[in-house]
Amino acid sequence: MIRHARSDDYAAFVALFRELGIDDPIPTPEYWRDTLAPEALVVERDGAVVGVTTYYRLARAGHVRHLAVDPGARRRGVASELMTGVSDEFRAAGVDEWHLNVKDDNTAAIQLYERFGMAVEYRTVVVAITWDIARHLVPSTASVTSVEPSDDDDVERALDLVAGRIAMLRKRGVLLFVARDGSLAPVGLSAFTPSLPGAYPFRATSYPHAVALLHAMARHRLPHLDKVQLVIENHDELAQQLIAEGAIAKLRLRHYVGSL
């Protein structure tokens, strides 16, 4: 049976979240209740939750945030049931395109998503860099400011972001920075959460602009955290340049997109 998630599914969600094999901290009960559960589906078998997916809707697209299945329930159609359920949710909301990220080496999940008609749009590299390394890197002369709501469309178009993504990030309370060159054109964006600490997305048209964003983020770092993770989308060259300076590649992902 598939159903909408409830607040009291938190323990089951935590157990399944660990199956994702990522470094992200486990969401708090409050974050589950207020942010994730309202847009989540679970599959029950014999009264136990054996699968979960969380998702969100943007202006014209939907995104599958997490999808996890209990090891004992794999190869029993649970993941397909979740994908069908979330696609139905998106269609009912008038969304005709969906996106998700998957680990580069997750063959089973890749096969599942491709069966649903999805295809790779770009690659993503998650890197971790210490603040000590970052402060020695040389930035561009780009100006870095917070992103105002009136800037959203301009920044999303310039940096090829899905419409509505910045507004969604703002609602989540992350710190939004935009880098602009001498012509005031957007050349970088960081959505920074100091408590993780991480930036997702982290986009820059060049390495020096990326460093300018890093320096702006550093002014908001928490003193007891010595490094930051950057989710670098569709810019392998930038990831490799940061790795050459001492950053560590933590995760390689494929970003999939499909029509509904």
Tell me which residue of 253, 48, 168 sits closest to 176, measured CA to CA: 168
Cβ proximity of 128 and 228 under 8 Å: yes
In this prediction, residue 24 carries a pLDDT of 83
- Token reading at 122: 């770009």
The DSSP bridge pattern shows strands 97-103 and 62-69 to be: parallel
In this prediction, residue 23 carries a pLDDT of 80
Is the model's pLDDT at 59 over the cut of 90?
no
Name the average pLDDT for the chain. Answer: 96
Collect contacts of 90-95 with beta carbons under 8 A, ≥24 apart. 90/55, 90/57, 90/62, 90/260, 91/260, 93/57, 93/62, 95/57, 95/60, 95/61, 95/62, 95/260
Is the model's pLDDT at 107 over the cut of 90?
yes
In this prediction, residue 232 carries a pLDDT of 98
Is the model's pLDDT at 22 over the cut of 90?
no
In this prediction, residue 237 carries a pLDDT of 97
Cut 0.95: pTM above it: no
Rounded percentage of the chain residues whose pLDDT exceeds 90:
97
| Alpha-carbon span 142 to 200, nearest angstrom | 20
- Token reading at 62: 């939907």
| Alpha-carbon span 21 to 16, nearest angstrom | 10
Query: Does residue 224 sit in helix, strand or coil?
Result: coil
What domains sit in the chain, N to C, each tagged with a CATH number? 2-95 (3.40.630.30), 125-254 (3.40.630.30)
Place of tokens 């609602």: 171
In this prediction, residue 69 carries a pLDDT of 97
- Token reading at 179: 């880098």
